[in-house]
A and B are shown apart, each in its own frame.
Chain A
């Protein structure tokens, strides 16, 4: 495999989650002639590993963000080359509207999920919590192709179905991947209300969203 050593250095730098180390690895790989898309791919593998380590409690949210900041810096450094090769948008996997549904004020799980999606290369519009149903629909109409809905209460999780039904009524259901999660949500409930993705954890959501985006 070409640039195997550089790929490993990039992967290791991402897992080490130190911004200067990541930038250094990117510059060295670029100077060695490694194609920009290959650099991004190697870093993405590292980012996936960072996500796994976060889920296993070996790394924490600021570490994930440091790795993501390194990814952003790489996009800046490699931007001109990516633009030349027509891959400038290669790292953007989709645009996700995220929110805790109307009536529910719990947002920590949703916020971690938003952060992890952003780190995985999604453009994230996080609307916060207690988000009116119509706001999700507006964002989908404005171009979001992923819609992440969170609820921590059995009394509010029913709102997810209402939003999915609203998307159907508006004729935009097929344009968006409906993702649901939160403590009372299960795969069976996701199936029952017609959601596309059930995220057991933030990492699970990201992995499934990436599969859909691929």
Chain B
């Protein structure tokens, strides 16, 4: 007798059919991979069974039970309307005020943010007064908490974009100490810029700051951001600060740089949560990247395993990052809604996240 085939996805979004046994096998492999990498518990039999049910449900869209809904926020400001589809956008031109109100009143966003089109801290410095003006204007109309959002993006501090030598170039010349020194100098610069931009935008009435993709340039980027958050927290005790990560593991480009005695290279989400809370953040945006060559079952099981442990260990709420190529969702310009719905349901019901 032919085994029942279930419609599901690969990590690149491709439609595939899998049997329940194949889904189970991939879930077991995915959770085992996360458990092995981070030294954390794999999902138990009940959680695996629940995940199979979510993935094999043949409804186009799935959801959580009434009363189980979680906080939902959006990043990149207006860009998800105005950006091209390569930037997760829809190519619909509109102003930043209209985008903010649409998110609040039509899309059900619990919080939203103002963002510069480059979406990085450094380019905001020369235009901070314009950003303050816009922040003030939108705050007059919006009811939902309205933040400023940007990526630390420490790559912009290295040659040819910035004043410090590129650590990767130095590494290839085996100049390891010089490479580390360049990373440390850039991290200090980044922390100063975060304090500068953060305190200015808070002075314009922002409810807080969302640091997006922290650590994208490696562990020094991560540490620089945490030092910036610490300074911002000291300057603005009332600021609501969300620190979102760049991946399930902090990349060790420096390898030894520390935040208050903790080496940050190689930290996994449950460990990232500790130092992010220590720096003064209110919310941790946990991230797990998608492997495009693996199935949705493998990716989602792996993501849920990392995030579940982070939720259990985190001293602050965890709002998991769910989107193109993260949280088990396929890496596709417009992520398929069946996969998006399943990943979100699993994060809420199995990983017990506080928000999305």
Contacts and interface: CB of A to CB of B under 8 A. Distances in A.
A124 B266 contact: no
Contacts of B293: 186-187, 200
Contacts of A59: 252
Interface of A: 56-63, 65-66, 68-69, 72, 105-108, 111-112, 114-115, 118, 124, 126, 128, 153-155, 183-189, 200
Contacts of A183: 325, 331
Interface in B177-223: 179-180, 216-219
B135 to A, nearest CB: 27
A184 B255 contact: no
Contact of A188 (B12, B174, B249): B12
A124 B172 contact: yes
A119 B335 CA distance: 36
A24 to B, nearest CB: 19
B172 A115 contact: yes
Contacts of A189: 12
Contact of B37 (A56, A63, A184): A56
B291 interface: yes
Contacts of A124: 172
Contacts, number: 95
Contacts of A111: 166, 168-169, 171-172
Interface of B: 11-12, 14, 36-37, 84-87, 155, 160-161, 166, 168-169, 171-172, 174, 176, 179-180, 216-219, 249, 251-256, 265-266, 268, 291-293, 325, 331, 333
Contacts of A188: 12, 14
A61 B257 CA distance: 13
A106 B155 contact: yes
A58 B86 CA distance: 33
Given A61-B253, A155-B84, A186-B11, 18 more contacts: A57-B249, A57-B266, A60-B219, A60-B252, A62-B255, A63-B255, A65-B171, A108-B217, A111-B169, A124-B172, A126-B169, A153-B86, A154-B86, A186-B12, A187-B12, A187-B293, A200-B291, A200-B292
Given A154-B85, A154-B86, A58 B171 contact: no
Contacts of B331: 183-184, 186
B249 A62 contact: no
A155 B292 contact: no
A108 B85 CA distance: 23
A58 B266 contact: yes
A108 B180 contact: no
A107 B172 contact: no
A155 B14 contact: no
A60 B12 CA distance: 28
24 contacts: A56-B37, A57-B266, A57-B268, A60-B265, A60-B266, A62-B254, A65-B176, A72-B174, A105-B161, A106-B155, A108-B155, A108-B218, A111-B168, A112-B168, A112-B251, A115-B172, A124-B172, A153-B86, A153-B87, A154-B333, A155-B84, A155-B86, A183-B325, A184-B86
A68 to B, nearest CB: 8
Contact of B252 (A57, A66, A115, A155): A57
